[in-house]
Amino acid sequence: MCENREDVVIMSRQAHETVEVKGQRASNTCMDSSLGDLDNEVKRETPADAASCSGRHLIAGVAVAMATIILFTGLLFYLVLFVAWTAAPEVDQTSKTTRQELQQCEKERHDLSLMLHTVTQDSRCSLCPDGWLWWRGHCYFFSVGIQENRQWNQSAEFCRAHNSSLAVIKDSAEMEFIQGVMRKFPQFPFLWVGLTDSKQEGQWLWWDGSDLQHYIPVKVEWDADHRDCADLRGGGSLFAADCEAYGPWACKRES
């Protein structure tokens, strides 16, 4: 019986140790399996996590770039406003100064015109005879409305009698002055001036003996053998006409 009991105890211990070893192996096997699964999960999730991390870095970079652009644009805008604000007083001051100078010039022009008008109304200081117009150091007589129309030779004689000659036009400004007077009188069909080719057909000379284009580049239209005297018409054009025709004229003399 004792032997049997000892055998039973020994067998019981061996069985218990066997159970413990098997349990430990099973536990180890389970842990190894869990660790293997965890490694597999880590290995499976690593690419996704890397992509997610990369995407987050890209989004962050774009956000930083946009914020930088917005900040730079804002600073530039405020800089432009600041420059415009600081320059505005200078522009306003310049405009104000210019307006003041223009007003001063206008006042001086008005005062000068008034003075000249006063002087010309005083017979003691008159630069030109009554009925004559002064312009750039010369006196001009326009016969329209004052004298009856005359032939070219008769007009020239009238001018000589008044210490003058039929007008010799020496530049474009003088041409414009005479044209301006003619525009005031619509009844001016033409105006005798000091230009003729009576000495030699086709050779047009001014009253002072100068060639036609000596002063200004003009030509005489409608030139013909029986048209030896020139008249001035609108637009600064000169036409050959019969010297026996009647018309108004313009005299010119030194003031």
What is the rounded average pLDDT for all residues in the chain?
Answer: 75
Confidence of residue 243 (pLDDT cuts 50, 70, 90): very high
The pair of three-digit structure tokens given for residue 205, joined into one six-digit string: 């000379």
Better-predicted residue by pLDDT, 51 or 216: 216
What is the rounded distance in angstroms from the CA atom of residue 227 to the CA atom of residue 201? 9
Range in 13-27, 53-67, 188-202 with the lowest mean pLDDT: 13-27
Confidence of residue 39 (pLDDT cuts 50, 70, 90): very low
The domain defined by 133-254 carries CATH number 3.30.479.10:
no
Q: Give the model confidence (pLDDT) of 6-16 as tens digits.
A: 443 344 454 34
Q: Is the pLDDT of residue 216 over 80?
A: yes
Write the burial class of residue 252 (CB in 10 Å: 0-12 exposed, 13-18 middle, 19+ buried): buried
Q: Is the pLDDT of residue 88 over 60?
A: no
Q: Is the pLDDT of residue 65 over 90?
A: no
The whole-model pTM stands at 0.53
